[in-house]
Amino acid sequence: MKIAYLVNQYPKVSHSFIRREILALEKQGFEVLRLAVRGWDADVVDAEDRREQALTTYLLKDGAGGLLRSVFDAFKDSPSRFFSALKLALRMGWRADRPWPVHLIYFAEACRALPALRGFGARHLHAHFGTNPAEVAMLIEALIGLPYSFTVHGPEEFDKPQFIGTGEKLRRSAFVVAISSFGRSQLFRWVDHCHWPRVKVVHCGLEPAFHEVAPVPTPEKPRLVCVGRLCEQKGQLLLVEALGGLAKKGVDFEMVLAGDGELRGEVETLIARHGLQGKVRITGWISSDQVREEILAARALVLPSFAEGLPVVIMEALALRRPVATTYVAGIPELVQPEENGWLFPAGSVEALTAALERVLSTPPEVLERMGEAGRTRVLQRHDVDTEAAKLGNLFREAHA
């Protein structure tokens, strides 16, 4: 079966789970066309991402001229479908989070995707994220009748569902995937009960590079790692505040902030204010292999997020036998079990975060290793990439049965 995948930017270091899903589907016999809005000029680090970049068709690569030609061609092909889809795009722009001219760009992107989809012979289109990729997929369905589905990750889709037309996208889809039971519950809020059966749960899957790694002993150093984009929702500023409190108490620690992002300057300023330059290190963007090395070099992963879906890095850390200290938000409690494979604490509380860090740092290595083994068992039961891709593959087939 030939299917197409649509992503806003592909490949992307923080979206390696999409690459894993595509490759797992291809192992099961699906032919997959990669479509992305942008990313052809991205400086990707990972060798697999570079290969994926070469396989991807980019909708904006030819600039405005390519978009306009595609819009004209779509009009010639079927004026009635063209105006129906255009009307839908304008309606999506009414009281939306982005002004209606942006939705006309989404409409043009949908037109631009048509030649690649037809040339490939795609029978189904799947988008990742319920934001603009899902809207483009919906407009493609309006233009040529190609069934579509999309995966909702959160938290952005949960923050503003009425302003991104989540209900409309779901009602028109063949099915929608949530990556956790929590995510499914949020989608239930925005459609009538009769549409609930089309909302499915398919977990993000792990690749063997994480779960086939031989056990690495817990390091003697009191090193912790936080992996994620440096942004407001990940809570690194709160983490630095908590680390400042630990330093004043004389607690020995090292913290690695693995990632980069828009808050890096502010995070660095706060690190300096607390005098933590010798205790906190920011890596910048790193490859999947480097992320794996940083997790293995730490006693535990710390993720003080304010908002999430279900972070892939938690799955990766547990698969590597490292326990996780993180917050009671979204789908995280479905995977992290307190005192069994990690610690959970209230989001936004510097006191609770400080206490959690002290518990992690004071836990004996043999206990950390026991928790790590429990975490690995749980994550492999729930997040095997081939098992989860098989679920998704069955959904594709059922949609066309």
pLDDT above 90 for 370:
yes
Q: What is the pLDDT of residues 264-306, one digit of tens each?
A: 999 999 999 999 999 999 999 888 889 999 999 999 999 999 9
- Determine the pLDDT at residue 289: 84
Indicate the domain borders of the chain: 2-205+384-399, 209-382
Q: What is the pLDDT of residues 63-93, one digit of tens each?
A: 999 999 999 999 999 999 999 999 999 999 9
Distance CA 309, CA 366 (A): 31
- Determine the pLDDT at residue 245: 96
Distance CA 157, CA 165 (A): 10
The answer to whether the 2-205+384-399 and 209-382 domains have the same CATH topology is: yes
- Determine the pLDDT at residue 107: 98
- Determine the pLDDT at residue 337: 96
Q: What is the pLDDT of residues 116-126, one digit of tens each?
A: 999 999 999 99
- Determine the pLDDT at residue 146: 98
Residue type for 211, please? H
Distance CA 175, CA 152 (A): 11
Q: Which of 141-150, 233-242, 379-388 has the lowest mean pLDDT?
A: 379-388
- Determine the pLDDT at residue 161: 86
Residue (of 154, 110, 111) closest to 136 by Cα position: 110
pLDDT band at 195 (very low <50, low <70, confident <90, very high): very high
For domain 2-205+384-399, is the CATH number 3.40.50.2000?
yes
- Determine the pLDDT at residue 118: 98
Residue (of 218, 189, 171) closest to 317 by Cα position: 218
The three-state DSSP-derived secondary structure of 88-141 is HHHHHCCCCCCCHHHHHHHHHHHHHHHHHHHHHCCCEEEEECCCHHHHHHHHHH
Length of the chain equals 401
Distance CA 383, CA 204 (A): 6
- Determine the pLDDT at residue 13: 75
Helix axes 100-120, 132-144, angle to 10 degrees: 60
The three-state DSSP-derived secondary structure of the chain is CEEEEEEEECCCHHHHHHHHHHHHHHHCCCEEEEEEEECCCCCCCCHHHHHHHHHEEECCCCHHHHHHHHHHHHHHHCHHHHHHHHHHHHHHCCCCCCCHHHHHHHHHHHHHHHHHHHHHCCCEEEEECCCHHHHHHHHHHHHHCCCEEEEECCCHHHHCHHHCCHHHHHHHCCEEEECCHHHHHHHHCCCCHHHHHHEEECCCCECHHHHCCCCCCCCCCCEEEEECCCCHHHCHHHHHHHHHHHHHHCCCCEEEEECCCCCHHHHHHHHHHCCCCCCEEECCCCCHHHHHHHHHCCCEEEECCCCCCCCHHHHHHHHCCCCEEEECCCCHHHCCCECCCEEEECCCCHHHHHHHHHHHHHCCHHHHHHHHHHHHHHHHHHCEHHHHHHHHHHHHHHHCC
pLDDT band at 94 (very low <50, low <70, confident <90, very high): confident
Give the mean model confidence (pLDDT) for residues 228-248. Answer: 96
Structure tokens belonging to residue 233 = 């929702």
- Determine the pLDDT at residue 212: 78
Record: fold of 209-382: Rossmann fold (3.40.50)
- Determine the pLDDT at residue 279: 97
pLDDT above 80 for 242:
yes
pLDDT above 80 for 45:
no
Q: What is the pLDDT of residues 314-348, one digit of tens each?
A: 999 999 999 999 999 999 999 999 999 999 999 99
pLDDT above 90 for 214:
no
Give the mean model confidence (pLDDT) for residues 134-138. Answer: 98
Distance CA 116, CA 57 (A): 8
Maximal CA-CA distance, the chain? 72
pLDDT above 80 for 208:
no
- Determine the pLDDT at residue 62: 93
- Determine the pLDDT at residue 99: 87
- Determine the pLDDT at residue 197: 97
- Determine the pLDDT at residue 306: 96
pLDDT band at 43 (very low <50, low <70, confident <90, very high): confident
Distance CA 339, CA 346 (A): 15
The mean of the pLDDT values for the chain is 95
